[in-house]
Structure 1
Amino acid sequence: MRFRAKIVDIGCLNQFTRVINTVAKLAKTCTLRLTVDKLYFILSDKVANGGVSMWCELKQENFFDEFQMEGVAAENNEIYLEVTPENLSRALKTAQNAKAVKIKLTNKQCPCLTVAVELPSLSSSSRIVTHDIPVGVIPRKLWNDFIEPNVPEFDVSIFLPVMKTMKSVVERMKNLSNSIVIEANKNGEMNLKIETDLVCVTTHFKELGNPPWVLVSEEGSQNSTQDRDTESMVEARIDIKRLLQLLAGQQVNPTKALCNIVSKKMICLILLHEDFSLQYFIPALA
């Protein structure tokens, strides 16, 4: 089992750092899945049991100048590691002006991701700062616990407003309640609501747009979500801190951000970028 990778391009390094920083805000520990083509950061708490889940997918060719790996066996050419993303984030903070960053799976009394940061120097030789980040190797028999989450058929999908604006609104609402209701319809309208015994506050967003998803029925006929009732609202009440974790923690400036709502069951927030995608599942409160 081997893994080594190298980033030279400073733009790729900065973007990779932003992704890691975002993941670190969402999960204290998570699973890093390595394949030949992609990296995945996975948080697989069971949504049905009240936990959040995360699925972050990166194409390695968009970030790494060199990427080599050998899995546990030829037929299972993958590696699953338990990592603390905050430790990886801290290591990458020393690499802001790096000439190159190498990441390697090593064994130093325990399995480690060794991050070697090559920094510029006034002399002819470079300075190397090395970080050994302990990781846990997840055995093959447990890999099925880390498959991509199944998303129930959602009732509404809507593009999010500007995330900085949404963050500002939710931060103010956090002082009033521990929960928030997100409701939306197929007419591009979304509301954020706080409801307590003392106060009811609602922020309205309009003309956000709905992604052109197409649903396929059991009979095989295709029906656009736009053919259904567009005015009626679908809602889910969630923990406001969970929502704020993503809004306050994301540093990746997605090209698209959207929200899928399963009525009274869960919401799925999706950040899309040409280099990666991130799905964040928050269960509804009873």
Structure 2
Amino acid sequence: MRFRAKIVDLGCLNHFTRVSNTISKLAKTCTLRLSPDKLYFILSDKVANGGVSMWCELGQGNFFDEFQMEGVAADHNEIYLELTPENLSRALKTAQNAKTVKIKLTNKHCPCLTVAVELPSLSSSSRIVTHDIPVGVIPRKLWTDFREPTVPDFDVSIYLPVLKTMKSVVERMKNLSSHVIIEANLKGEMNLKIETDLVCITTHFKDLGNPPWASEDASQDRDSENMAEARIDIKKLLQFLAGQQVNPTKALCNIVHNRIVHFILLHEDVSLQYFIPALS
């Protein structure tokens, strides 16, 4: 089992750093799945038990100048590691102006992801800063626990408003309630609502648009003006909105009525899915 990768391009390094920063805001620990073509950051708290789930997928060719790996077996050429994303994020923060960054799987008293950052120097010799990030190797028999989450048939799919705007609205609401109702329809309308014994506040977003497949895949008997809604933990929603550094080209929200809210952020070379279960 081997893994080594190298980033030279500064733009790719900064992009990878932004992705790792986002992951560190969304999960205290997660699974890093390595395959020859892609990297995945996976958080698989059981949604049925009220936990959030995350699935972030990166095409390695868009980030790494060199990428070599040998999985646990020829017929299973993958590696699954458990890591604390904050440690990876911190290591990459030292690489702001690096000449190169090398990441490899090592064994130093315990399995580690070793991040070697080559920094520019005034002298002819380079300065290299090394970070050893402890990881746990996940045995193959447990890999099925980390498959891509299945998306239930949604009632509404809608494009999200500007994430910064949505974040500022939710930040104000969290001072008044511990949960928020998110509702949307097939006419491009979305509302964020909080309802307490003392106050009821709604923020309306209009003309957001629905993806072309929304009206085809959504329940056939649903009127386009009917709202699908889910009541979710406001802190979990704010954690998702506050952690975003991916700068998506498209941001979508799927709602399964009273069951789950499924967010998708799409960039040219990154996709991030985030699942928040509805509160009963």
TM-score interval (norm. to shorter): over 0.9
Q: 1:46: which partner in 2?
A: 46
Q: 2:212: which partner in 1?
A: 212
Measured against aligned partners, the alpha-carbon deviations of 1:43-79 in whole angstroms (never above 9, x if no partner) come to 0011011100000000000000000000001001000
> Would you say the 8 A contact 2:181–2:231 is kept in 1?
yes
> Would you say the 8 A contact 1:267–1:282 is kept in 2?
yes
AA aligned opposite 2:192: L
Q: 1:274 aligns with which of 250, 268, 272?
A: 268
> Would you say the 8 A contact 2:186–2:214 is kept in 1?
no
Structure 2 distance, partners of 1:179, 1:127, is 49
Measured against aligned partners, the alpha-carbon deviations of 1:88-127 in whole angstroms (never above 9, x if no partner) come to 0000000000001000000000000000000000001110
Secondary structure of 2:125's match?
coil
Q: How far is the alpha carbon of 1:184 from its aligned partner?
A: 0.2
Q: 1:257 aligns with which of 247, 251, 255?
A: 251
> Would you say the 8 A contact 2:4–2:67 is kept in 1?
yes
AA aligned opposite 2:109: Q
Q: How far is the alpha carbon of 1:214 from its aligned partner?
A: 6.0
Structure 1 distance, partners of 2:177, 2:257, is 21
Q: How far is the alpha carbon of 1:275 from its aligned partner?
A: 1.0
Q: How far is the alpha carbon of 1:225 from its aligned partner?
A: 4.3
> Would you say the 8 A contact 1:183–1:191 is kept in 2?
yes
Q: 2:241 aligns with which of 243, 247, 252?
A: 247
Structure 2 distance, partners of 1:34, 1:53, is 19
Measured against aligned partners, the alpha-carbon deviations of 1:19-49 in whole angstroms (never above 9, x if no partner) come to 0000000000000000000000000011011
Q: 2:201: which partner in 1?
A: 201
Q: How far is the alpha carbon of 1:213 from its aligned partner?
A: 1.4
Q: 1:220: which partner in 2?
A: none
AA aligned opposite 1:8: V
> Would you say the 8 A contact 2:101–2:118 is kept in 1?
yes
AA aligned opposite 2:133: I
Structure 1 distance, partners of 2:78, 2:242, is 32
Structure 2 distance, partners of 1:226, 1:71, is 42
Q: How far is the alpha carbon of 1:252 from its aligned partner?
A: 1.2
Question: How is 1:59-70 mapped onto 2 (pairs within 5 angstroms)?
Answer: 59-70=59-70
Secondary structure of 1:131's match?
strand
Structure 1 distance, partners of 2:218, 2:26, is 31
* Residue 87 (structure 2) pairs with residue 107 (structure 1): no
Q: Could you tell me the percent identity over the aligned residues?
A: 82
Structure 1 distance, partners of 2:32, 2:238, is 24
* Residue 86 (structure 2) pairs with residue 86 (structure 1): yes
CA RMSD of superposed structures (Å):
1.1
Q: How many equivalent pairs are there?
A: 279
Q: 2:225: which partner in 1?
A: 231
Structure 2 distance, partners of 1:104, 1:225, is 44
Structure 1 distance, partners of 2:217, 2:121, is 59
Measured against aligned partners, the alpha-carbon deviations of 1:148-193 in whole angstroms (never above 9, x if no partner) come to 0011000000000000000000000000000000000000000000
Structure 2 distance, partners of 1:224, 1:275, is 25
Runs of 4+ in 1 over 2 A off after TM superposition: 223-228
Which ranges in structure 1 are unaligned for 5 or more consecutive residues?
216-222
* Residue 158 (structure 2) pairs with residue 164 (structure 1): no
AA aligned opposite 2:260: M
* Residue 124 (structure 2) pairs with residue 145 (structure 1): no
Which ranges in structure 2 are unaligned for 5 or more consecutive residues?
none
Structure 1 distance, partners of 2:154, 2:247, is 25
> Would you say the 8 A contact 2:156–2:256 is kept in 1?
yes
Structure 1 distance, partners of 2:9, 2:93, is 16
